């Protein structure tokens, strides 16, 4: 696997700093509102997973909800050791959390996990994956997902490609990547993934954003559910 300054920086510093800035005072037993919206969208397409994994899951509140409400076997991978600690202490062992990145983590390193998950969630994480490890990350997700399984992706849907430096990282070299495309098209281009649900929205704080000197629609969001099939989408 290629080395990545960005992934290393998340693992060693920025993911914990993000946790401290945004989640340190949260009650892990309260499902965050934007996680509830993910739940509502998955309900619309009647997804009740038996075995689920979320990448960049923070402390795992969405995973805990599925474990409690549906008896789902749940796993999460998150670069923040602090967030992993919070979830491991809060949920009585229901949620299996581990520190890692999409590209490099204990779940993907174990061949026994191949094709065993019927739901993967990636909520606003792809833009933070370094370009060096992006293809490895996509390959890892595809390897875990069962034939017929679902992949939920929340991500930006810009008109133009942009790359914004993470201003919390003073030494630089860490970016939020918003490719035109966007990342979900890396899956659909394979012919093995079809969009079964999509919701597009504008970040109200940013809205049209031209007046803020940013490219139009830089903060347009896409929420999709992709369904995987190894054969069904080919004639
Ligand atoms: C902006 S937050 C998105 C919201 C987050 N999914 C949640 O549930 O709170 C980005 C999350 O992705 C994690 N992350 C960053 N780079 C990652 C990577 N390469 N692989 C997996 N997670 C990553 C961060 O630590 C952080 O928790």
- Ligand 1 atom with the smallest distance to the CA of 56 is 22
- Ligand 1 atom with the smallest distance to the CA of 83 is 27
Longest Cα–Cα distance in the chain: 52
Distance in angstroms (rounded) separating the CA atoms of residues 17 and 128: 14
Q: Indicate the pTM of the whole model.
A: 0.96
Total count of residues recorded for the chain: 235
Q: Which of 146, 175, 179 is nearest to 162 (CA)?
A: 179
Distance in angstroms (rounded) separating the CA atoms of residues 133 and 135: 6
Asked if the model's pLDDT at residue 206 lies above 60, the reply is no
What average pLDDT does range 133-140 have in this prediction?
98
b/e code 9-31 from CB counts within 10 Å (16+ = b) = bbbebbbbebbeeebeeeebeee
What is the structure's pLDDT at 173?
A: 86
Q: What is the pLDDT of residues 64-117, one digit of tens each?
A: 999 999 999 999 999 999 999 999 999 999 999 999 999 999 999 999 999 999
What is the structure's pLDDT at 58?
A: 98
- Ligand 1 atom with the smallest distance to the CA of 58 is 27
CB-neighbour burial class of residue 7 (10 A; exposed 0-12, middle 13-18, buried 19+)? buried
Distance in angstroms (rounded) separating the CA atoms of residues 53 and 63: 8
Using only C-alpha atoms, what is the Rg of the chain? Answer: 17
54 CA to centre of ligand 1 in angstroms: 10
205 CA to centre of ligand 1 in angstroms: 21
What is the structure's pLDDT at 170?
A: 87
What is the structure's pLDDT at 211?
A: 59
Q: Which of 180, 156, 177, 149 is nearest to 165 (CA)?
A: 177
Q: Which of 96, 71, 76, 150 is nearest to 118 (CA)?
A: 150
Range in 49-63, 114-128, 193-207 with the lowest mean pLDDT: 193-207
What is the tally of helices (H) and strands (E) in the chain? Answer: 8, 9
15 CA to centre of ligand 1 in angstroms: 7
Q: What is the pLDDT of residues 47-62, one digit of tens each?
A: 999 999 999 999 999 9
Domains delineated in the chain: 5-228 (3.40.50.150)
What is the structure's pLDDT at 172?
A: 86
- Mean pLDDT across the chain, nearest whole number? 94
Cβ of residue 28 lying under 6 Å from some atom of ligand 1: no
What is the structure's pLDDT at 213?
A: 67
64 CA to centre of ligand 1 in angstroms: 17
Cβ of residue 7 lying under 6 Å from some atom of ligand 1: yes
13 CA to centre of ligand 1 in angstroms: 13
Q: Whose CA is nearest to atom 10 of ligand 1?
A: 125
Range in 171-175, 196-200, 203-207, 212-216 with the lowest mean pLDDT: 203-207
What is the structure's pLDDT at 181?
A: 87
């Amino acid at each position: 696997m290629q080395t990545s300054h960005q992934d290393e920086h998340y693992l060693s510093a920025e993911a914990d700093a993000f946790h401290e800035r945004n989640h340190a005072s949260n009650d892990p037993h309260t499902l965050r509102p934007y996680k509830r919206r993910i739940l509502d969208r998955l309900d619309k397409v009647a997804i009740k997973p038996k075995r689920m994994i979320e990448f960049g899951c923070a402390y795992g509140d969405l995973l805990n909800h599925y474990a409690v409400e549906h008896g789902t076997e749940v796993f999460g991978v998150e670069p923040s050791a602090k967030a992993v600690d919070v979830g491991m202490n809060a949920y009585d062992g229901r949620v299996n959390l581990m520190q890692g990145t999409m590209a490099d983590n204990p779940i993907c390193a174990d061949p026994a996990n191949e094709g065993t998950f019927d739901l993967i969630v990636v909520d606003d994480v792809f833009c933070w994956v370094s370009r060096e490890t992006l293809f490895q990350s996509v390959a890892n997700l595809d390897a875990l997902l069962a034939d017929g399984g679902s992949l939920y992706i929340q991500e930006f849907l810009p008109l133009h490609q942009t790359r914004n430096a993470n201003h919390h990282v003073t030494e630089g070299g860490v970016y939020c990547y918003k490719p035109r495309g966007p990342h979900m098209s890396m899956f659909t281009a394979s012919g093995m993934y079809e969009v079964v649900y999509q919701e597009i929205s504008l970040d109200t704080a940013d809205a049209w954003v031209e007046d803020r000197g940013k490219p139009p629609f830089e903060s347009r969001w896409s929420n999709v559910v992709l369904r995987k099939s190894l054969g069904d989408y080919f004639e």
